Amino acid sequence: MKKILLQIFTWWNGQSLNTRFHTWRKGRHVGEDEFGNVYYQGGTDSEGRTRRWVIYNGYSEASAVPPGWHGWLHHKVDTPPVAEDYKPREWQKQHLPNLTGTPGAYRPRGSVLSNETRPRVTGDYDAWTPGG
């Protein structure tokens, strides 16, 4: 019951009822990634290509899509990672969740939320003054 209520009243948690209906009607399961996200394709988009989409495992967070699946979702490659022996390149980083709004978020030196003190202004900066 909780899952149905979440689908009715939220769009950021898993799938909405409309996405569930579209997936049931037109979707063909393509595969899953290591985070539990499920990938589908079916129908056509406005450019005539096969529509591809992901149903997130939990909150809808685009940074939770691994590089191989990202390329497939955006039509950069035709073959999904599960249909080939996809290996990430050595320059591709491991997934890090989006930490915005959490205590782990990036806070530069001088930020009001940072413990560090603001850097002193050097001589290459003149403060603006009204009428000056």
Rounded to 5 degrees, what are φ and ψ at 3? -65, -40
Report pTM: 0.65
Domain boundaries, the chain: 2-83
Q: Are strands 38-44 and 28-32 parallel, antiparallel or unpaired?
A: antiparallel
Section 13-24 average pLDDT: 70
pLDDT 10s digits, 80-131: 988 887 777 888 777 777 888 888 888 887 777 777 777 777 777 777 888 7
32 pLDDT tier (thresholds 50, 70, 90):
very high
Section 32-61 average pLDDT: 88
Which three-class secondary structure state does DSSP give residue 52?
strand
The two tokens of residue 57 are 């495992």
